[in-house]
Amino acid sequence: MTAVERHNYDVVVVGAGGAGLRAAIEARGQGLRTAVICKSLFGKAHTVMAEGGIAASMGNSNPHDNWQTHFRDTLRGGKFLNQWRMAELHAQEAPERVWELETWGALFDRTKDGRIAQRNFGGHEYARLAHVGDRTGLELIRTLQQRIVALQQEDFADAGDFEARLRVFQECTVTRVLKDGERVAGVFGYERESGRFFVIEAPAVVLATGGIGKSFKVTSNSWEYTGDGHALALLAGAPLINMEFVQFHPTGMVWPPSVKGILVTEGVRGDGGVLRNSDGKRFMFDYVPEVFKDKYATSEEEADGWYADPDTHRRPPELLPRDEVARAINSEVKAGRGSPHGGVFLDIASRLPAQEIQRRLPSMHHQFRELADVDITAEPMEVGPTCHYVMGGVDVDPDTAAAGGVPGLFAAGEVAGGMHGSNRLGGNSLSDLLVFGRRAGLHAARYAQALTASQRPAVADAQVDAAAAEALRPFSAEPAEGTDGAAPAAVGAAGGAAGGAAGGAAGGAAGGAGGAVAPPENPYTLHQELQQTMNDLVGIIRKEQEMEEALTRLADLRTRSRRAGVEGHRQFNPGWHLAIDLRNMLLVSECVARAALERTESRGGHTRDDHPQMDRRWRGVNLVCELASPPDQLAAQDPAAGQITLRRRDMPPIRADLLDLFEKDELRKYLTDEELGQ
Amino acid sequence: MSYTGHFRVWRGDAEGGELKDFEVEVNEGEVVLDVIHRLQATQAHDLAVRWNCKAGKCGSCSAEVNGRPRLMCMTRMSVFAEDETVTVTPMRAFPVLRDLVTDVSFNYAKAREIPSFVPPPGLAPGEYRMAQQDVGRSQEFRKCIECFLCQDTCHVVRDHEENKPDFAGPRFLMRIAELDMHPLDAAAETGLDRARTAQDVHGLGYCNITKCCTEVCPEQIHITDNALIPMKERTADRKYDPLVWLGDRIFRRDK
């Protein structure tokens, strides 16, 4: 049996971004002992990168706004593939969640009469985003972090212990959700600092791990975004949906190479910035799709009038949903009208006074000055699409955030699927985190509360041993076929408990050609190849042949990743961490590639060169990914079989009163005649 | 465009360590963190370094570059001559865990010692009204990304471990100022004088306004001028103002 540190909590939250912290606050608020686990330091989660704002129909900037309008915009943005009940709850509850932040000390930018100011963003009919300059995510994470500290201070006053009911396990990574039969029993993970393993026994686990962007080469996402929660859910037996929908944010930095992909906030366009090609033309007027024709301006004059008078002007096409803008930029660059470094120009300098740009967009000003030697108050930025967000995720119950098929497992935020349909609107992510983070925390707490002591699940030692063996494998990387019994290929100075026994025992077939001893694989090289594969073959524009090629390469990478070896010991060893994360990235990448190959239409964050039209018959279909073969089994090495099975599932019909919020003519663009008849 | 740069990186752990020399490729437009990552990928897979956003927003990759506290992701290689040796060491004020990673738990302990925001009684969520010019003062301090470079550089604790228990450091003294200037914070109504506790409990008096913290702040927050000095002035006024002194005596009598 593996000796590991064991803890016992009622609710474990995996991830300490917006959704995770909000879930933890709620679970602790219900009186339950709650643990939060995060890969980084507390307060560094990827949520800090969010810039533009939190979408909530508070009606401060435009009194016409209400939840129905927000709901409508969300469905339009997602091309009606959204889980409509989630979109409804989200639109209804977002304002409360934002106001609540103020009671915890958040300081948003203000309107003239002292209320929370709201800014324009792509796809939102009204100015709707609560913000703090262009660092809204930092404000959100800091407010939630400080709320957690406030709760810990209460517990200290009550019990003399800051961590009596709410503890943050910093710099820890969860590698497995543990189960007792069908039910969740806890989590297994390691401390980055020491490399020691730990188990937290808990009847309820909330996944709030964010996204998968690190599987792509050009991305706005940080190293943490390796699809951990997606993979943990799959491995625990929960399905994922909508994995074919990956959002490429239209405006990432393109130069210098080392910052390629870093986000340039949509707030630049919300505040008046325009996109131009190398001819100086505002090209977005040429890219307004049929479904949005009557809602966007057709001339520069009309578009420019909208900022001051939105009631009698139509919106500038720069503020189309992100998928549309990203495709347009891609087309301009392909047509040879790009900027010198392969993007297009984003111009705010000629649109606002320098002082105003510095006030509204201080981070962007700083970022370009420091990293690219560009003064955005004087010259245009060069921007291009960057992998930003995955719409797909754990298939959850819309009201409770409970994952399908695994009692005790919950998911919220980017790791959950459905809410955003095929494409997320800017600003809807931060509100999603708050609304569904709270719901996940609440329902996880209720689920745990309902269990009597004798009903609580137990963690079996065998599961802990298996998880430990899996995590240690990179220290004794498997030799290639035909080298049975040969010494482990990598330096095996694993150190600590249970080092040696684990790796070699992991049976299975590696795919090397017979005879020769294959050297251990460098996990960094494998990661780079994976990123290149996904970027080139399952990127912003997709083709059948390329995706088939991607599946073949993924199978090869899976085989080679079994030989990913690392040097050194377990104490803060990034090579080891990456070797473990590769399992997750390979799993989610296969989900993306398989689902994208299956969906023969273009919609939102899924564009098929060979099926360029949106097809109404696909509107009501979710593609469901499930684990077919564990990573260490033979079929996983076969490109045709792989680790994932895919099935189609019809979505529940949209409730009639929600459909009534739209004009019949608009619905005809999305729904089949059959659906309209009902 | 590319050249071979000479790096010296501190490698070791709590037991000890040393500077190791590396010859490594450097490309146009890169920052120090890019080069550290290249070392990891090609020469030292187990080189420990914290980082997240790589855009100066999360405050994870703090270290000392040629002796100066800096974010590695915001330190351009172009500021060094091609033949210059770039020395990267962990933050000095905190115990080393491994290589460039330090134990920053001091900061999280200090964060817990600062009393939290007190919401104004009688105002429901959604009823808060504040003027932009009033929130602007605290907003400047809320730009803090908690890189802890100010804590690292502050001479009160940089080489004086013995001062750590009594001194919150610039970041958390600034946090007190932020709450003190929050237009709706109701701490005073509960009997908490934030500025005074900064002086009496959190070690504001140790600060002799050398502005080292302000100089290293990657967010260019005016920590000394806008947060620490106003708080010092307020507590000094209160301490030495005879009317305040008298008032304190009178109103405290019935408590």
A249 is catalytic: yes
A248: β partners: A387
Average pLDDT over residues A514-519: 58
Considering only A413-422, A624-633, B132-141, which range has the smallest mean pLDDT? A624-633
Please, which contacts does B248-252 make with residues 24 or more away whose CB atoms are closer than 8 Å? none
pLDDT greater at residue A363 or residue A168 = A168
3 state SS for A648-673: EEECCCCCHHHHCCCCHHHHHHHCCH
C-alpha to C-alpha distance for A551 and A670, rounded to whole angstroms:
31
C-alpha to C-alpha distance for A493 and A274, rounded to whole angstroms:
56
Report residue A608's pLDDT band, with 50, 70 and 90 as the boundaries. very high
- Same domain for B20 and B67: yes
Measured between beta carbons, the chain A residues lying within 8 angstroms of B147 are none
Å between B123 CA and nearest CA of chain A: 9
Q: Do B138 and A568 touch (CB under 8 A)?
A: no
Report residue A149's pLDDT band, with 50, 70 and 90 as the boundaries. very high
- Same domain for B73 and B188: no
Q: Is the pLDDT of residue A425 over 60?
A: yes
pLDDT, tens digit (0-9, with 9 covering 90-100), for A230-253: 999 999 999 999 999 999 999 999
**Nearest chain B residue (CA) to A47:** B58
CA neighbor of A307 nearest in space, from A49, A96, A141, A62: A62
Q: Do B34 and A258 touch (CB under 8 A)?
A: yes
Catalytic option among A70, A165, A249, A606:
A249
| Percentage of the residues of chain A whose pLDDT score is greater than 90 | 85
| Percentage of the residues of chain A whose pLDDT score is greater than 70 | 93
Catalytic option among A22, A230, A269, A365:
A269
Report residue A677's pLDDT band, with 50, 70 and 90 as the boundaries. confident
- What's the pLDDT score for residue A491? 34
Å between A222 CA and nearest CA of chain B: 5
pLDDT, tens digit (0-9, with 9 covering 90-100), for B51-69: 999 889 999 999 999 999 9
Query: Which single residue is written with the structure tokens 């105003």?
Result: A356
Q: What angle do CA A374, A379, A384 make, to 5 degrees?
A: 70
Cβ-contact A60, A95 below 8 angstroms: no
Measured between beta carbons, the chain A residues lying within 8 angstroms of B130 are 107, 110, 114
Q: Do B41 and A138 touch (CB under 8 A)?
A: no
Measured between beta carbons, the chain B residues lying within 8 angstroms of A223 are 51-52
Q: Which of B72, B102, B132 corresponds to the end of one domain?
A: B102
DSSP structure string for A335-362: TT---TTSSEEEE-TTTS-HHHHHHH-H
C-alpha to C-alpha distance for A37 and A192, rounded to whole angstroms:
12
Q: Is the pLDDT of residue A507 over 70?
A: no
C-alpha to C-alpha distance for A167 and A162, rounded to whole angstroms:
8
CA neighbor of B70 nearest in space, from B195, A463, B80, A120: B80
Report residue B176's pLDDT band, with 50, 70 and 90 as the boundaries. very high
- B136 by Cβ neighbours in 10 Å (0-12 / 13-18 / 19+) ranks as middle
CB of A48 within 8 Å of any CB in chain B? Answer: yes
Q: Do A572 and B101 touch (CB under 8 A)?
A: yes
pLDDT greater at residue A568 or residue B85 = B85
Average pLDDT over residues B160-182: 97
Element (H, E) at A472: helix A461-472
Q: Is the pLDDT of residue B136 over 80?
A: yes
Report residue A495's pLDDT band, with 50, 70 and 90 as the boundaries. very low
Report residue A499's pLDDT band, with 50, 70 and 90 as the boundaries. very low
Provide the domain limits for residue B222. Answer: 105-254
> What SS3 class is residue B87?
strand
- Same domain for B112 and B33: no
- Same domain for B120 and B61: no
- What's the pLDDT score for residue A632? 65
- What's the pLDDT score for residue A517? 61
- What's the pLDDT score for residue A177? 98
- Same domain for B109 and B32: no
Measured between beta carbons, the chain A residues lying within 8 angstroms of B41 are 522, 524-525, 528
Q: Is the pLDDT of residue A486 over 50?
A: no
pLDDT, tens digit (0-9, with 9 covering 90-100), for B185-194: 999 999 999 9
- What's the pLDDT score for residue B250? 66
Q: Do B142 and A132 touch (CB under 8 A)?
A: yes
- What's the pLDDT score for residue A399? 98
Q: Do A150 and B116 touch (CB under 8 A)?
A: yes
Residue B42's domain is classified under what CATH number? 3.10.20.30
Average pLDDT over residues A309-319: 93
- Same domain for B120 and B207: yes
- Same domain for B114 and B44: no
CB of A263 within 8 Å of any CB in chain B? Answer: yes
- Same domain for B169 and B243: yes
Q: Which amino acid is residue B55, in one-letter code?
A: A
Measured between beta carbons, the chain A residues lying within 8 angstroms of B27 are 257-258
Q: Is the pLDDT of residue A481 over 80?
A: no
- Same domain for B146 and B50: no
Helices (H), A104-135: none
Report residue B239's pLDDT band, with 50, 70 and 90 as the boundaries. low
- What's the pLDDT score for residue A639? 74
CA neighbor of A343 nearest in space, from A374, A299, A302, A370: A374
Domain count, chain B: 2
Please report the residues numbered 497 through 536 in chain A whose beta carbons come closer than 8 angstroms to any beta carbon of chain B.
522-525, 528
Q: Which of B102, B120, B148 corresponds to the end of one domain?
A: B102
C-alpha to C-alpha distance for A495 and A193, rounded to whole angstroms:
14
Q: Is the pLDDT of residue A488 over 50?
A: no
Average pLDDT over residues A284-294: 94
Report residue A631's pLDDT band, with 50, 70 and 90 as the boundaries. low
Give the other-Cβ count within 10 Å of B131's Cβ. 13
- A17 by Cβ neighbours in 10 Å (0-12 / 13-18 / 19+) ranks as buried
Average pLDDT over residues B114-136: 97
Report residue B235's pLDDT band, with 50, 70 and 90 as the boundaries. confident
pLDDT, tens digit (0-9, with 9 covering 90-100), for A155-193: 999 999 999 999 999 999 999 999 999 999 999 999 999
Q: Which amino acid is residue A201, in one-letter code?
A: E
Distances (CA, A) of A107 to A104, B98, B224: 9, 37, 21
A648 is catalytic: no
pLDDT, tens digit (0-9, with 9 covering 90-100), for A61-87: 999 999 999 999 999 999 999 999 999
- What's the pLDDT score for residue B242? 65
Record the tokens describing residue A368, joined without a space.
Answer: 């370009």
Å between B100 CA and nearest CA of chain A: 10
- Same domain for B116 and B93: no
Q: Do B53 and A103 touch (CB under 8 A)?
A: no
pLDDT, tens digit (0-9, with 9 covering 90-100), for A94-111: 999 999 999 999 999 999
- What's the pLDDT score for residue A494? 37
> What SS3 class is residue A180?
strand
- Same domain for B195 and B167: yes
Q: Which of B81, B102, B123 corresponds to the end of one domain?
A: B102
pLDDT greater at residue B242 or residue A163 = A163
Record the tokens describing residue A405, joined without a space.
Answer: 């098929």
Please give the ipTM for the structure prediction: 0.93
- What's the pLDDT score for residue A258? 84
Measured between beta carbons, the chain A residues lying within 8 angstroms of B51 are 222-223
Cβ-contact A37, A12 below 8 angstroms: yes
Q: Is the pLDDT of residue B11 over 50?
A: yes
- What's the pLDDT score for residue B244? 62
Average pLDDT over residues A364-382: 93
Å between A480 CA and nearest CA of chain B: 22
Q: Do A574 and B53 touch (CB under 8 A)?
A: no
Report the predicted TM-score, pTM, of the whole model to 2 decimal places. 0.92
- What's the pLDDT score for residue A487? 36
Work out the mean pLDDT of chain B and round it to a whole number: 93
CB of B25 within 8 Å of any CB in chain A? Answer: no
Q: Do A366 and B132 touch (CB under 8 A)?
A: no
pLDDT, tens digit (0-9, with 9 covering 90-100), for A327-357: 999 999 999 999 999 999 999 999 999 999 9
Q: Is the pLDDT of residue B253 over 90?
A: no
Quote the strand ranges of A257-340, DSSP E: 274-276
pLDDT greater at residue A51 or residue A285 = A285
Record the tokens describing residue A104, joined without a space.
Answer: 């915890």
Average pLDDT over residues A564-587: 92
Average pLDDT over residues A203-223: 96
- Same domain for B192 and B233: yes
Helices (H), A6-135: 18-29, 67-77, 84-103
- What's the pLDDT score for residue B238? 64
Q: Do B60 and A41 touch (CB under 8 A)?
A: yes
CB of A341 within 8 Å of any CB in chain B? Answer: no
Q: b/e for A279-289, b at 16 or more Cβ within 10 A?
A: eeebbbbebbe
**Nearest chain B residue (CA) to A569:** B46
Query: Which single residue is written with the structure tokens 């690190």?
Result: A214
Measured between beta carbons, the chain B residues lying within 8 angstroms of A42 are 108
Residue B120's domain is classified under what CATH number? 1.10.1060.10
